[in-house]
Structure 1
């Protein structure tokens, strides 16, 4: 089993390498300090498993995974325990909280071995998941506060650190979802990906004006202004033109 260790801390990488020496079937083929370095290493080394930190300079571990067309198996290694649910939603094999204990590491590696040697069983195609309509209501929880929100009332979804912030009424809760995930669930006739950071509700557009380099700037009713990327500006014009 080949492994790539991704962590911005040199001491954390060295400690994990030391722990992995106890497992003779594991070969650490490389290290990376941040997402850009990791992408290069993943492409060049094609490791079986990533030992991946979450908080790193530049992009987080979740953002790195979202940027990959195909990712190796992932074992998260982090000093924070609050991202465990999101990690397993990203199909992680395991979630190890630093300092990593050898017994927990052994359990995680067992999961990796089982996944790597298991034959690919034929599976029936999953039924297509229909997009949520603007009239659908969704449950939103942020800390101790909860809402049942009609999607038509949501003006904007915006990346905020490792979370996505939802704009509705005067509320701005955070949810542990990526924009990529939300795009698969939202009706593309209503919700538009304006740029890498934001999805807007077209029903809340108040005004549109030309912006720099043939891009657009959109003002949302009772909401912020959103700059549309050059690529998405082209798509926006095509989408809404006769």
Structure 2
């Protein structure tokens, strides 16, 4: 029987070493690789195709949550985190296991055994727990100051103040910024509720605009206006969107 490939993602070498030390007690698991940041991790996941991931949450460049957003078909994930008990309860509710640093060998064994049960369950290898955690993360209140997007194995970190506008495109959104145009699997509702309220406004069901990018608002039809941006983009504003603009501007 082939061994189960494991990937360890943590920016702290001692933390990675501890996981490797504990994994010696599991001959069925093989360490396929280790990464110190999310940029390395995304490439390693694509190339190594691990069946189990140990993922730290608090990392520089991009954190564990942001990496999670970029994974379309993730394997079972065991989080290693220093988050407080409230966040831990949220992970537990979604059946995604976690290890609260510093963790013991017995707690590590418990987490691995849970993951192995999921991996060995031939009837259901669903990623629903990870999907549920993504959804819960999206619904957590709070403004964002950057957006992480991917193009193949390349990760782009987009500061929100560089965004010109966001456009709905089926199940994705197109983020148009000074860094280029990038597709992201998110909803317009997510961005409407998480972008800074004093910096962005939804002018149409298909468009959210950076207020600082607006040059003019021109009449286009009976109930429609065109919002002209510094970039040269011309976006339609609905009657409701125009009303919001008037109240704001």
**TM-score normalised by the shorter chain: which range applies?**
0.5 to 0.7
Contact 2:203–2:238 (CA under 8 A) maintained in structure 1: no
Structure 2 partner of 1:57: 60
Pairwise CA distance, 1:32: 0.5
2:6 to 3, 7, 15: 3
Contact 1:34–1:57 (CA under 8 A) maintained in structure 2: yes
Q: How do 1:106-185 and structure 2 match up within 5 A? A: 106-120=109-123, 158-159=143-144, 183=187
Matched, 1:37 2:40: yes
Residue 217 to residue 16, structure 1, CA distance change in 2 (3 Å): farther
How much is the aligned-residue C-alpha RMSD, in angstroms? 4.5
Pairwise CA distance, 1:105: 1.1
Normalising by structure 1, we get a TM-score of 0.55
1:237 to 229, 235, 238: 235
How many pairs were matched up?
Answer: 170
Residue 192 to residue 158, structure 1, CA distance change in 2 (3 Å): closer
Residue 79 to residue 239, structure 1, CA distance change in 2 (3 Å): same
Contact 1:158–1:199 (CA under 8 A) maintained in structure 2: no
SS of the aligned residue for 2:98 comes to: strand
Pairwise CA distance, 1:107: 1.0
Unaligned runs of 5+ in 2: 127-138, 147-183, 217-228, 240-249
Structure 2 partner of 1:70: 73
Structure 2 partner of 1:25: 28
Pairwise CA distance, 1:28: 1.1
Contact 2:201–2:211 (CA under 8 A) maintained in structure 1: no
Contact 2:144–2:194 (CA under 8 A) maintained in structure 1: no
Distance 1:194 1:74 in 2: 28
Unaligned runs of 5+ in 1: 124-139, 143-156, 162-179, 219-227
1:84 to 85, 88, 92: 88
Distance 1:26 1:116 in 2: 12
Residue 92 to residue 7, structure 1, CA distance change in 2 (3 Å): farther
1:96 to 78, 95, 99: 99
Contact 1:20–1:26 (CA under 8 A) maintained in structure 2: yes
- Where has structure 1 moved over 6 Å in runs of 4 or more? 192-195, 207-210
Distance 2:64 2:200 in 1: 21
Structure 1 partner of 2:129: none
Distance 2:25 2:42 in 1: 27
Contact 1:35–1:64 (CA under 8 A) maintained in structure 2: yes
